[in-house]
Amino acid sequence: MIQTNRLDRGFYKYQREFEDKALEVLRSGWYILGSEVSSFEESFAAYTGAGYCVGVASGLDALILAFRALGIGKGDEVIVQGNTYIASVMGITINGATPVFVEPDEYYNMDPERIEEKITERTKALLVVHLYGQASDMGRILKICREHSLKLVEDCAQSHGSCFEGKMTGTFGDIGCFSFYPSKNIGAFGDAGAIVTDDEGIAKEIRILRNYGSEVRYHNKTVGMNSRLDELQAGLLRVRLSHAAELNDEKKAIAKRYDKELDNPCIILPKVRKGCDHIYHQYVIRVKERERFMNYLKENGVGTLIHYPIPPHLSEAYAYLGMKRGSLEITERYADEVLSIPMYNGMYSEEQDKVIEVINEYKGPVQDN
């Protein structure tokens, strides 16, 4: 069975470096907020081109802390795309703010054409998700934020190193939020996350909030969280980050082969908007009668996953928003049709041969829009 992802391959690629670093940290006797974390923060800020980076415990925490640092909470509205991982929305609602959903464009990112109709006097911010690894149309989105004086937060959990017109995602808005969950393009070996920003005050605030609201030990200014990045993960992330370009290039090459060799009228391949990089966190196709297609692939030894089968506005967690099926037609159609096919660092070309062959031999309803 060819799985959708193989995290072990990503480990064995740099096994020696990961093992050496892990032993070094274990033997150091220092495990929380030390030199590995500060070195990683420095390197990751430099990698993205942001002024500051603060490591936190997860991507969700990065989002929660971002809205908190911006003072967004009860009574405020945040515009976000309907088709995202539910963590994006939780980052908003855990702070007491209300998510307002916008439909995606054909690139699966927030459709800039549909943002302005959602702006009210309560709208405080936009949360842009660079979904599946493709940068959003930041030119138009930035213009809207400026015209309406909105804060901008970027969810870069799937877009490490992906650029819009040469500038890295995460550096357009007030705060860029990253997850280093093991399956992300830059992945840890456990939970980890970070924020990047050019604003020194925001960086300082999040540094305090991640550590019980204290800057000086046992002097607590505010009710913070425990959301610290640990030394072991930070050290292992430094290894991964040192190979980031190579890791993204490998995924891009796999995607290029799919683009060229997948040939079946039943599926729609991912499109890339001009000026927007795609680092293929996932390679997402669309197909009608998805269940049947998935079963066919499974019977032929090809695994798939759905990112994501239930859009946040229809999940039980957000039943209180009172949104019914039909309220976001494009988002819901995508949720019914999207499918992620095998895509991972260390994928063998014979594995990709097989995926391509099996998909090309499938016969089903034609997918034309």
Ligand X SMILES: *Cc1c(COP(=O)(O)O)cnc(C)c1O
Q: Which is nearer to ligand X, 109 or 264 (CB)?
A: 109
Q: Which of 87, 241, 276, 359 binds ligand X (CB under 6 A)?
A: 87
193: contact with ligand X by CB under 6 A: yes
Residue 56-85 contact track with ligand X, rule CB under 6 A, x = bound: --xxx-----------------------xx
338: contact with ligand X by CB under 6 A: no
Q: Which is nearer to ligand X, 93 or 158 (CB)?
A: 158
Q: Least separation, in Å, of the C-beta of 100 and ligand X?
A: 17
169: contact with ligand X by CB under 6 A: no
Q: Which of 129, 195, 232, 284 binds ligand X (CB under 6 A)?
A: 129
Q: Which is nearer to ligand X, 58 or 95 (CB)?
A: 58
179: contact with ligand X by CB under 6 A: yes
48: contact with ligand X by CB under 6 A: no
**CB 109 within 8 Å of CB 80:** no
Q: For ligand X, how many residues bind (rule: CB under 6 A)? A: 15
Q: Which of 53, 69, 125, 157 binds ligand X (CB under 6 A)?
A: 157
342: contact with ligand X by CB under 6 A: no
Q: Which is nearer to ligand X, 2 or 192 (CB)?
A: 192
Three-class secondary structure assignment of the chain: CECCCCHHHHHHHCHHHHHHHHHHHHHHCCCECCHHHHHHHHHHHHHHCCCEEEEECCHHHHHHHHHHHCCCCCCCEEEEECCCCHHHHHHHHCCCCEEEEECECCCCCECHHHCHHHCCCCEEEEEEECHHHECCCHHHHHHHHHHCCCEEEEECCCCCCCEECCEECCCCCCEEEEECCCCCCCCCCCCCEEEEECCHHHHHHHHHHCECCEEECCEECCCCCECCCEHHHHHHHHHHHHCHHHHHHHHHHHHHHHHHHCCCCCEECCCCCCCECECCCCEEEEECCHHHHHHHHHHCCECCECCCCCCHHHCHHHHHHCCCCCCCHHHHHHHHHEEEECCCCCCCHHHHHHHHHHHHCCCCCCCCC
| Region of 19-27, 150-158, 163-171, 360-368 interacting with ligand X (CB under 6 A) | 150-158
State the CB neighbour count (10 A cutoff) for residue 245. 11
Q: Which is nearer to ligand X, 84 or 109 (CB)?
A: 84
Answer left, alpha or beta for residue 108, where phi above 0 means left and psi between -120 and 50 means alpha. left
Q: Least separation, in Å, of the C-beta of 87 and ligand X?
A: 4
Q: Least separation, in Å, of the C-beta of 42 and ligand X?
A: 21
154: contact with ligand X by CB under 6 A: no
Q: Which is nearer to ligand X, 130 or 359 (CB)?
A: 130
Give me the amino acid identity at 300: N
158: contact with ligand X by CB under 6 A: yes
161: contact with ligand X by CB under 6 A: no
Q: Which is nearer to ligand X, 88 or 352 (CB)?
A: 88
What CA dihedral angle connects 359, 335, 127 and 143, to 10 degrees?
A: 70
Q: Which residue is nearest to ligand X (CB)?
A: 59
Strand 219-220 to strand 214-216: parallel, antiparallel, or no bridges (unpaired)? antiparallel
181: contact with ligand X by CB under 6 A: yes
Q: Least separation, in Å, of the C-beta of 317 and ligand X?
A: 14
88: contact with ligand X by CB under 6 A: yes
Q: Which is nearer to ligand X, 58 or 197 (CB)?
A: 58
Residues of this chain that bind ligand X (CB under 6 A): 58-60, 84-85, 87-88, 129, 155, 157-158, 179, 181, 191, 193
